[in-house]
Structure 1
């Protein structure tokens, strides 16, 4: 008989098993039963005491462990605890005595995959328990690895990932969704998918499409964060489980991309408008000059003195020529690159000076002013005189759009990703969708009076400051202009 305290090896086989038991007879009995039922399929080794077992476990070379509950001054539960201490997972079958049901339950709670009662073990039962233990562990490990992989994607994705149930209530959201939407995880779990949308019409259309088509591919929507700020997103959504009715919504934040595209379009439009303005100026001013010279010559002729109305007609011609000449000059000024005298200015100071210039208009129209400024240290490089003109144009437009005595003008400044936003919001009549695209076009105006060059000039000033201007408006609700400038 072999000496106790040694580890015995049988012939190399496919499945590596370690039996931890201080009774050598039990080891030979178990090994014999297993080889009789499944010869050549298992390679079983023996550790006769706790220390040998620990040494063998830490090598992590076995696919399954048969552990006797009683190991001298130690127990099988100590073995299970050691697995957890070294963060090692493997299937463990506990060998217990007859009637030790409390121990069996404790072993299962501690992490054992199964238990067998000594004295009642048969060859087929032993082989089946080992085979199922190894197979079940392999399946569980595969599931855990897949879960870890997909959990990693969920956690580390740069896109917003949101799961919802059949009623479109949010049941989970990844960290980037929590950060972008500025809600806590618990707050999101109390919300519905429709609550994420900036516009109710878009929300209803989304919910209708996802229910009818089962999938939404690469569609653009506007979400809003907790502060009500707009987030442009490109959404892919689909039903995740047909029976449970769960939904997966993946949204790419394209806010910065859209802003860059808009800035590029504004620059291109500005260059084209300037080119057209210069052509118009050249082609119109030359004939105007000749007409004005001719009118001046006519005034000196004696023949005109005989006609009573001649001076009146000449005045009309001269006055309108002068007006055309002024319009051409304004068009050129509103579309040409300008020389700026830049200095570092706190953005709050910049806005407050422009508001001071509009103060009489605000009071006359009974407009209530609400301001919220960023910290004093937040500054931009700006030409104060030019920026006063740009901001004043927007303030005046806002005042004229609101009902006298009921207007509320909100002016807010904020720092965002190395840029400064100036948000100017009114509760006026709003701008029709068909007019928004032409808002900054030269000579476009919905007013009965005015040249339609005010916002063109404003856009020119902002672009020359390497910034951008955006407008969001809802008819009957109001308008928000957002000016974005580089931070000093």
Structure 2
């Protein structure tokens, strides 16, 4: 075991003076006066050695005290000069270092305080990861979006569709992401340096309302233009077809007449097709009145039962925990439920269940699950996963529910059942 310099010095001085004392003891029997003088000198030497030891040990004591203060992060401890050059130089350097550390800590604390306040007051969602890519910090806006359950989890393990999409993003990347085809977010991933290491963070800005208005304005203009041109053409051509049909003799031109009738029917179907699109654009603002959600759900389920039976689908009577009243447009909400039931019947399942809970309506079906690719596109204008679908039903549902201010989702649960959930405020 290697001895410290302090112990080596003590052992050396002790051994030296013990040796001198042994030599001086030999003078006791030869010359007492010289023995006494030598003893005095030896005592003075021991005093000088102790003084030198204390002088050498003083800087070490200062250093030890300084180290303890730094370990305790106490940057208020400073030393007073002693009047000794070497020690005062050490004290001066230490005091200067402590001043700089204290100023740096104060500056960092002020920056962290400002950053915390900025994150807390930010109108956009901020999500910060730790060094292990786990969710560490959520500002209040992000907490409303994701909740506290995601803290401490990795993005891909948080069981959230939006966070799963965000996990594939790289630093510096910006994307517009959608969840359940309804909510849209502009997401940007970046990083900051913390203690010399990179930490990623995300900024999320909800664009649902802006995108909805932009989409509606765009497809509304296109539909109005298409409807105007198509209806003008169809009206003129159908008039010609009808005139020709009535002017041709039946027996002679029976094949030709049948072809004209087919063409006229096709014109009618195309005209109805365009009216369906135009109805979405011309949808009036809801005329709200107090209504019973229980009664409306019961009526629509009875109305759709015949269609369901034809497809070998069973519609169960809506279940409710308590009577629920809404302030809504009855006709428009009825159209919403009819379209939801229609889509559920066409999902190739065998059961449809309706549940009315506090502040929400849920319609379940055990048909074909919705794929992740379909989920992000569901409520896009006129999107349909069916080969012969027009995408008008979900677009109309979205228009009506958005105008009412209701939140809604459509997704397949882990148990295989697909649920259309509508959340609203009860009267």
Task: Please give the TM-score of this superposition, normalised by the length of structure 2.
Answer: 0.59
> Is the 2:238–2:264 contact (alpha carbons within 8 Å) kept by the matching residues of 1?
yes
**Which residue of structure 2 lines up, in the alignment, with residue 441 of structure 1?**
382
Alpha-carbon shift at residue 260 of structure 1 (Å): 2.0
> Is the 1:278–1:332 contact (alpha carbons within 8 Å) kept by the matching residues of 2?
no
- C-alpha offsets along residues 71-91 of structure 1, whole Å, 9 cap, x if unaligned? xxxxxxxxxxxxxxxxxxxxx
- C-alpha offsets along residues 137-186 of structure 1, whole Å, 9 cap, x if unaligned? 342233233233234313431241313223x23444445444432116xx
Q: Could you say if the C-alpha distance between residues 129 and 349 of structure 1 is closer, same or farther in structure 2, counting changes exceeding 3 Å?
A: farther
1:266 aligns with 2:266: no
1:404 aligns with 2:347: no
> Is the 2:192–2:198 contact (alpha carbons within 8 Å) kept by the matching residues of 1?
yes
**Which residue of structure 1 lines up, in the alignment, with residue 130 of structure 2?**
164
> Is the 1:164–1:193 contact (alpha carbons within 8 Å) kept by the matching residues of 2?
no
Alpha-carbon shift at residue 284 of structure 1 (Å): 0.8
List runs of 5+ in structure 2 lacking aligned partners.
1-60
**Which residue of structure 1 lines up, in the alignment, with residue 333 of structure 2?**
387
**Which residue of structure 1 lines up, in the alignment, with residue 58 of structure 2?**
none
**Which residue of structure 2 lines up, in the alignment, with residue 125 of structure 1?**
87
Q: State the alpha-carbon separation in 2 of the partners of residues 272 and 469 from structure 1.
A: 27
Q: Match for 2:193 among 233, 240, 256? A: 240
> Is the 1:160–1:176 contact (alpha carbons within 8 Å) kept by the matching residues of 2?
yes
Q: Could you say if the C-alpha distance between residues 446 and 134 of structure 1 is closer, same or farther in structure 2, counting changes exceeding 3 Å?
A: same
**Which residue of structure 1 lines up, in the alignment, with residue 243 of structure 2?**
293
Q: Match for 1:318 among 261, 268, 284? A: 261
- C-alpha offsets along residues 207-254 of structure 1, whole Å, 9 cap, x if unaligned? xx4xxxxx3333445689xxxx967351323373697xx542332222
- C-alpha offsets along residues 425-446 of structure 1, whole Å, 9 cap, x if unaligned? 755343665994897439x783
- C-alpha offsets along residues 285-307 of structure 1, whole Å, 9 cap, x if unaligned? 22212222332333xx5xx45x5
Q: State the alpha-carbon separation in 2 of the partners of residues 131 and 439 from structure 1.
A: 68
Q: State the alpha-carbon separation in 2 of the partners of residues 134 and 250 from structure 1.
A: 37
1:154 aligns with 2:116: yes
Q: State the alpha-carbon separation in 1 of the partners of residues 112 and 323 from structure 2.
A: 41
Q: State the alpha-carbon separation in 1 of the partners of residues 288 and 355 from structure 2.
A: 26
**Which residue of structure 2 lines up, in the alignment, with residue 52 of structure 1?**
none
Larger radius of gyration: 2
- C-alpha offsets along residues 268-290 of structure 1, whole Å, 9 cap, x if unaligned? 20232122112211111222122
> Is the 1:354–1:391 contact (alpha carbons within 8 Å) kept by the matching residues of 2?
no
1:205 aligns with 2:168: yes
Q: Aligned with 1:401: secondary structure?
A: coil
- C-alpha offsets along residues 307-358 of structure 1, whole Å, 9 cap, x if unaligned? 5x83x76456436524532541452254142556612346956973675356
> Is the 2:304–2:341 contact (alpha carbons within 8 Å) kept by the matching residues of 1?
no
**Which residue of structure 2 lines up, in the alignment, with residue 365 of structure 1?**
313
Q: State the alpha-carbon separation in 2 of the partners of residues 409 and 383 from structure 1.
A: 20
Q: Aligned with 1:325: secondary structure?
A: helix
Q: Aligned with 1:251: secondary structure?
A: strand
How many pairs are equivalent? 348
Q: State the alpha-carbon separation in 2 of the partners of residues 192 and 409 from structure 1.
A: 35
Q: State the alpha-carbon separation in 1 of the partners of residues 336 and 421 from structure 2.
A: 12
Q: Could you say if the C-alpha distance between residues 270 and 251 of structure 1 is closer, same or farther in structure 2, counting changes exceeding 3 Å?
A: same
> Is the 1:217–1:235 contact (alpha carbons within 8 Å) kept by the matching residues of 2?
yes
Q: Aligned with 1:253: secondary structure?
A: strand
Q: Could you say if the C-alpha distance between residues 278 and 261 of structure 1 is closer, same or farther in structure 2, counting changes exceeding 3 Å?
A: same
* Higher share in strand: 1
Q: Could you say if the C-alpha distance between residues 274 and 282 of structure 1 is closer, same or farther in structure 2, counting changes exceeding 3 Å?
A: same
Q: State the alpha-carbon separation in 1 of the partners of residues 410 and 118 from structure 2.
A: 32
Task: Please give the TM-score of this superposition, normalised by the length of structure 1.
Answer: 0.53
> Is the 2:129–2:136 contact (alpha carbons within 8 Å) kept by the matching residues of 1?
yes
The root-mean-square deviation of aligned C-alpha atoms, in Å, is: 5.3
Alpha-carbon shift at residue 188 of structure 1 (Å): 1.0
Q: Could you say if the C-alpha distance between residues 123 and 174 of structure 1 is closer, same or farther in structure 2, counting changes exceeding 3 Å?
A: farther
> Is the 2:364–2:417 contact (alpha carbons within 8 Å) kept by the matching residues of 1?
yes
**Which residue of structure 2 lines up, in the alignment, with residue 331 of structure 1?**
274
* Higher share in helix: 2
Q: Aligned with 1:240: secondary structure?
A: strand
1:278 aligns with 2:228: yes
**Which residue of structure 1 lines up, in the alignment, with residue 289 of structure 2?**
344
Q: Could you say if the C-alpha distance between residues 250 and 141 of structure 1 is closer, same or farther in structure 2, counting changes exceeding 3 Å?
A: same
> Is the 2:324–2:426 contact (alpha carbons within 8 Å) kept by the matching residues of 1?
no
Alpha-carbon shift at residue 203 of structure 1 (Å): 5.8
Q: State the alpha-carbon separation in 2 of the partners of residues 241 and 436 from structure 1.
A: 38
> Is the 1:270–1:460 contact (alpha carbons within 8 Å) kept by the matching residues of 2?
no
